[in-house]
């Protein structure tokens, strides 16, 4: 009978350990932070690549409109 009681206690402890989510929030936040850093880096690289063209287009439009006045 003691063996069954010990098995029951061990099973309950195992179930509690599975349900214990301690530290899960930290891992989730670090994962989300990593994704955000990657996305911001990619967007920054894309903006840096297209910025000279964008500023040249804006400058040409302003110059063109100023010439029409």
pLDDT tens per residue, range 12-49: 777 676 666 666 677 888 899 999 999 999 998 888 78
Q: What is the pTM of this model?
A: 0.45
In 3-state terms, the chain is what percent helix, strand and coil (to 5)?
Answer: 90, 0, 10
1: confidence class by pLDDT, cuts 50, 70, 90: low
* pLDDT value, residue 32: 92
- Per domain, the residue ranges of the chain are 2-68
Residue 39: what pLDDT? 95
Q: Between 18 and 68, where is the model more confident?
A: 68
């Amino acid at each position: 009978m003691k063996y069954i009681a010990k098995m029951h206690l061990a099973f309950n402890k195992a179930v509690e350990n599975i349900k214990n989510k301690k530290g899960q929030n930290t891992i989730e936040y670090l994962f989300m932070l990593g994704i955000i850093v990657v996305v911001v880096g990619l967007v920054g690289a894309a903006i840096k690549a297209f910025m000279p063209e964008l500023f040249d287009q804006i400058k040409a439009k302003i110059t063109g409109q100023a010439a029409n006045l």
